[in-house]
Every structure is written in structure tokens, then in C-alpha cells.
Structure 1
Amino acid sequence: MFQEFAKLFFYEMCSDTISSYSSIENSLFGLNTYLGIEFPNVDEVVDYSVRNPGFYDVLLYASILTKEKFGEGSEISVELYHDPEFNDEYVSIYVRQDSYDDNILDQIETVCDEYEEALTNTSGWLLVTTDFKPKSF
């Protein structure tokens, strides 16, 4: 699924890496339109991606992995988390369900295992997690 999506939205990657605001914004719109991934504050996620070269590729991969793992029965929401205690921020991919499986944290860990190594080559940070809230739709 990732490769098919990449073919549709990464025609600009040939020039090195996606770094322009509009390219990232357009591909996030594609994630929303075609996969139903939510972006409540898309501008924050785009800004963070632009400020952290190489991060967006990992974000895209992790978003698609999360959607594949949890399917249509889950809401996947990508949001910029602002940590007030440490004056830090990072992108979180939240998995929300109406009824949570007992092993959801183990399932999330399998997704994290797939993308975390790629973060070592970026200055950004990404966390797939759940806040145990119900789906909003």
C-alpha cells in the first residue's frame, strides 16, 4: 500500500526530498482523502515536517503502517503534541477505537518497531500511541 500511495503523491521526490510546505500539505490531504487519516491541525504537522528534514518520509510510512494495522474500525489522528513540562513538541499518531482490545499497546509497539530506526536519520520525533478516547466520528 505504501508504494502505491508514494507513486501518487511523491512525484516531487525525484528532486531530492520533499521539503516544501505545499508538497507536504498536499500529500497529507491525500492521506486524509484516500485513507481517512485525520489531521486536526494540519498546519502544525506540516510546519514540524518542514523544520525537520527527512522526518516526513517516516511520518508517511508510520501513518500508513498504523492505518494498515488497525484498519477501518479505528480512527487514526496525526497531531503535533506540545509537552508543557519540557517545552518540547513532537508528532503523535493516535489510535482511537470505540472498544479497545486488551493488547492494543502490544499492537502499537509492533508498528513502532517498524519505523523507529528510520528516525535516527532525522531531527524530528514521532510517537504512535493511544489516548484511549473514543472515535470522534
Structure 2
Amino acid sequence: MSRLGTFRTGLLACVCGASLLGGCAVSNPFVTAKVDPSSPIAAQVASAARARTTYPTFADIPPVPADVRPLPAFGRAADELEVAGAQLMRETAPSTWTLTGTEAFAGRARDMAGPESEAISTTAETEAFAKAQRARATPPPPPR
């Protein structure tokens, strides 16, 4: 297709799009919509349709706050986060650490926790407690 043909096609697409959008801007479906007079909100709908309201303009948009970092700083922070994530992945890869000295770690944890409780239950005691609770339990009522 020649440059002139491409230009004409683009121009035709723009004209068609503009005419379609122009038709939307001219007609307002809410102006011609009928409200059922027996509706409990008919009076409110009618008053809202007749009300003249002011809409904000671009001048009403507040200025950018001074304490917000500039846009390039967001990109640098994202880059730093990606670098930190890659470093963390390298440092925690499966071949970079081993589980050694676990007995010493567990011993320190037991010392910090204090002496063991004397009330450690056995499996038989646990089963007896569970059996007593099951005997006490009330089943839910049947569905209706």
C-alpha cells in the first residue's frame, strides 16, 4: 500500500472515530429517560436531573507535594530492591549452607527454656483423656 493509501486509511479511521464519539457527546440518555411517577424516589430523581452542578476543572487539581520523592527515585528504589532480591537468592541457594551444630543449638534452646515440666503425659493418658471427652460430647441436632 502506498503512503497516500495509508494516509487516507488513517484519516478515514480518525473521521469515523470522531463521528462516533461526537454522537455520544451530543446525546445524553439520562435527559430523555422517563421515570415511573409511582416510584418512591421519583421526586428525588426529578430534582437531581434538574440540578445544576459545577464540576471541577484542571485548575482545581492540587500541586504535587514537596515531600514526595521524584519519579526517577522510584525507579532507582525498584532497581535496588531487585539487586537485594538477587543477592538474597544467591546467599540462600541450596549449596550455600548446611545444618551443622544442631545439637549445640538445641541444647542452648533447652537451657533458655528452663527445666522440663514434670507433667508430661504418656500416650495412654492422652488416649484416656480423649475417650472421656468423646463420651461427654453431645452430638449436634439432626438437620431439619
Could you say which TM-score interval applies, normalised by the shorter chain?
under 0.3
Q: TM-score normalised to the size of structure 2? A: 0.14
Q: TM-score, normalised by structure 1?
A: 0.15
Structure having greater relative contact order (Cα 8 Å, sep ≥ 6): 1
Structure with greater proportional strand content: 1
Larger Rg: 2
